[in-house]
Structure 1
């Protein structure tokens, strides 16, 4: 049984999309997701995306990291499937409903309202999430934000100098974070620009992370370090994040805007990965 797929990326954060909006595609479990994501023996991607029809939205999006774990939200993937849909869309995810809209600058995504309470990050015990009284080696006093999935953000002098490949997995799996955590190291360039690198929970270092860009921008805004509209510069390119508390009809909601690209299409034999 040959299954069609679409290979897409948002600023180099790449996805294999199984598009079941019209034609049926197989259910995905952790083993199948990890096998297809393997860059040596599979198709290769940071995340596997499965689309399917649903009530209450234009379609449902399931998101599986390269290790097979299913996660709540992915900003870059939302832009990618918004491009695939080709029109404004309401998308159901584990993290809630997201809205995508094609624009002259790419795809704009309404990422919803950020959450800051320690129990919804989630953390293992109560603490202030604006300036957390914890640290790992020299990385300390981070802020935490849930933007559909959990993020911790460290503001540093030079993000490129941080050994995120080593410290990222240590922080990701710390018992403080019962659902694990996405780890961000960010440098404030000026009030309109942030430079960012992200260790993604279950995926590792990626060229871009849309929810990481949102969480980092919100953390910087909460600390008064930047304006309410900023450009976040990731290794794969820039994303524009707007958190206008007085936006008409949507107070407190985050808008992320940036490009998405379809790379190629193909098929695979399902039995090869089961």
Structure 2
């Protein structure tokens, strides 16, 4: 099986191309667990499958390293856009990509025939509790308290097609990230589990983020998480509507526009390509 490995700010994915027609016999969740294993497979935060679409230019399916299928992935879709353009599968710019969170519009930044970056119209943030979903009160769910591991934290819930729990912190050095991340991911407040973002405010135009991704654990970047965090920062009157989000793997520029859409701009990078030789018994 031929593959290409790509990453968005270190959030890495194994790409397999089924654009000419999907194989109905492929068990993608099980394949994701095998391919994404960092010792016994290729290694990655997720598996991205390139598929045809009846309603858009192409369809992206993504599977986390544990085999679960999230609705969307911001870093993954930027890599997806570059892949389909470079492979000649799509030459349209902008392009429309079908995802589990709906059809998204992407603009490519091309210089001398090379994709230098991708802007994704992530659509409108979802702030209704039952649609996120979260068992919180109010609309939007801003600055509410939760009990986790014997302590109380204030959180803001946002969906960018997938659920996010955003918590503002003063100091990462005192954050029990490895325990809090999975505990909040599986907290009873979130019926479909949640991604978890811990945010430091640097200035009205800059924030720093650590993320625990639902189904993947700690990653170097999360595009939907950066978008949700920017929205949460505005809702909590902490930043302006356009911010640079500093992640462990690099920076994303996020703008919550006057049209209520969230725009994410960042890179998409190749790592390597190869062929996976599945062991035969």
Q: Report the TM-score, using the length of structure 1 for normalisation.
A: 0.92
Maintained 8 Å contact 2:21/2:52: no
What per-residue deviation string (whole Å, max 9, x for no partner) do you get for residues 10-31 of structure 1? 0000000111223655634322
Question: 2:192 aligns to what SS in structure 1?
Answer: coil
CA distance in 2, matches of 1:77, 1:99: 14
Mapping 1:13-52, distance limit 5 Å: 13-22=11-20, 24=22, 27-52=26-51
CA distance in 2, matches of 1:115, 1:148: 7
Equivalent residue number for residue 104 of structure 2 = 98
Equivalent residue number for residue 248 of structure 1 = none
Match of 2:131 among 120, 137, 143: 120
The number of residues matched between the two structures is 266
Equivalent residue number for residue 121 of structure 2 = 110
The alpha-carbon deviation at position 44 of structure 1 amounts to 0.7
Question: 1:130 aligns to what SS in structure 2?
Answer: coil
Change (3 A) 1:139 1:214: farther
Listed as ranges, the gaps of 5+ residues in structure 1 are 246-250
Equivalent residue number for residue 113 of structure 2 = none
CA distance in 1, matches of 2:191, 2:59: 26
The alpha-carbon deviation at position 164 of structure 1 amounts to 1.4
Equivalent residue number for residue 158 of structure 2 = 145
Q: Which moved more, 1:28-37 or 1:226-235?
A: 28-37
Aligned-pair RMSD on alpha carbons? 1.8
CA distance in 2, matches of 1:189, 1:139: 23
Mapping 1:61-210, distance limit 5 Å: 61-86=60-85, 87-103=93-109, 106-124=117-135, 126-127=137-138, 129-136=141-148, 137-138=150-151, 140-210=153-223
Maintained 8 Å contact 2:166/2:229: yes
Equivalent residue number for residue 241 of structure 2 = 228
Maintained 8 Å contact 2:134/2:157: no
Maintained 8 Å contact 1:147/1:214: yes
The alpha-carbon deviation at position 244 of structure 1 amounts to 1.3
Maintained 8 Å contact 1:119/1:126: no
Maintained 8 Å contact 1:159/1:195: no
Change (3 A) 1:273 1:237: farther
The alpha-carbon deviation at position 161 of structure 1 amounts to 3.4
Q: Report the TM-score, using the length of structure 2 for normalisation.
A: 0.89
CA distance in 1, matches of 2:48, 2:173: 29
CA distance in 1, matches of 2:196, 2:19: 33
CA distance in 1, matches of 2:280, 2:156: 40
The alpha-carbon deviation at position 139 of structure 1 amounts to 5.4
Equivalent residue number for residue 272 of structure 1 = 279
Equivalent residue number for residue 238 of structure 1 = 251
Question: 2:279 aligns to what SS in structure 1?
Answer: helix
Match of 2:261 among 253, 265, 274: 253
The alpha-carbon deviation at position 167 of structure 1 amounts to 0.8
The alpha-carbon deviation at position 8 of structure 1 amounts to 0.1
